[in-house]
Amino acid sequence: MRGKTSCDGAAFAPDSPGARREVPSKGAQDYAGEGAAVELDELDRGLVHALQIHPRAPWTLVGDVLGVNPVTVARRWQRLQEAGLAWVTAYPRLDNTRIVVTGVVEVDTEPGVAEDVARAFAADPAVANIKLTAGGRDLVAAVQARSLDELARVTTLMFQRTPGVRATRTHVSTGVPTEGSRWRLRSLDELQSARVEAAIPPAGLPAPAAEARWDDLDARLLELLSADGRMSLRDLSAGSDTSLTTVRRRLQSLLATRLSLRCDLARPLSGWPLSAVYFASVPGQYVAETSRALSGVREVRSCAITAGPHNLVIDVWLRDLHDVHAFEAHLSRKLPRLTVADRSVVLRTVKHMGRLLDHDGRCAGVVPLRLPQGERGRGPVGAAGITGA
pLDDT tens, residue by residue, 108-149: 999 999 999 999 999 999 999 999 999 999 999 999 998 899
Mean pLDDT of the chain: 85
DSSP string, 33-52: STT------HHHHHHHHHHH
Higher pLDDT, 250 or 373: 250
- How many other CB atoms are found less than 10 A from the CB of residue 55? 22
State how far the Cα of 249 lies from the Cα of 234, in Å rounded to an integer: 13
State how far the Cα of 146 lies from the Cα of 265, in Å rounded to an integer: 28
| SS3 of residue 345 by DSSP | strand
State how far the Cα of 373 lies from the Cα of 362, in Å rounded to an integer: 30
Q: Could you tell me whether strands 339-352 and 355-357 are parallel, antiparallel, or unpaired per DSSP bridges?
A: antiparallel
7: left (phi over 0), alpha (psi -120 to 50) or beta: beta
pLDDT at 204: 58
- Amino acid (1-letter code) at residue 81: Q
Give backbone dihedrals phi and psi of 225, rounded to 5 degrees, phi first.
-75, -25
* Residues in CB range of 296: below 8 A, 6 or more apart: 2, 3, 4, 5
Strand partners of residue 381: 366
- Amino acid (1-letter code) at residue 307: A
Confirm if 90 and 261 have CB atoms less than 8 A apart: yes
pLDDT band at 48, cuts 50/70/90?
A: very high
- How many other CB atoms are found less than 10 A from the CB of residue 151? 22
Give backbone dihedrals phi and psi of 245, rounded to 5 degrees, phi first.
-65, -45
Confirm if 3 and 312 have CB atoms less than 8 A apart: no
Tell whether the model's pLDDT for residue 19 goes beyond 50.
Answer: no
Name the nearest CA neighbour of 82 among 26, 123, 135. Answer: 26
The mean pLDDT of 377-382, rounded to a whole number, is 40
Tell whether the model's pLDDT for residue 383 goes beyond 70.
Answer: no
pLDDT band at 160, cuts 50/70/90?
A: confident
State how far the Cα of 252 lies from the Cα of 254, in Å rounded to an integer: 6
Least confidently predicted of 5-9, 76-80, 88-92, 105-109: 5-9
| SS3 of residue 336 by DSSP | coil
* Residues in CB range of 210: below 8 A, 6 or more apart: none
* Residues in CB range of 144: below 8 A, 6 or more apart: 92, 100, 101, 102, 126, 127, 128, 369, 370, 372
Confirm if 350 and 119 have CB atoms less than 8 A apart: yes
pLDDT at 31: 57
pLDDT at 202: 79
pLDDT at 209: 52
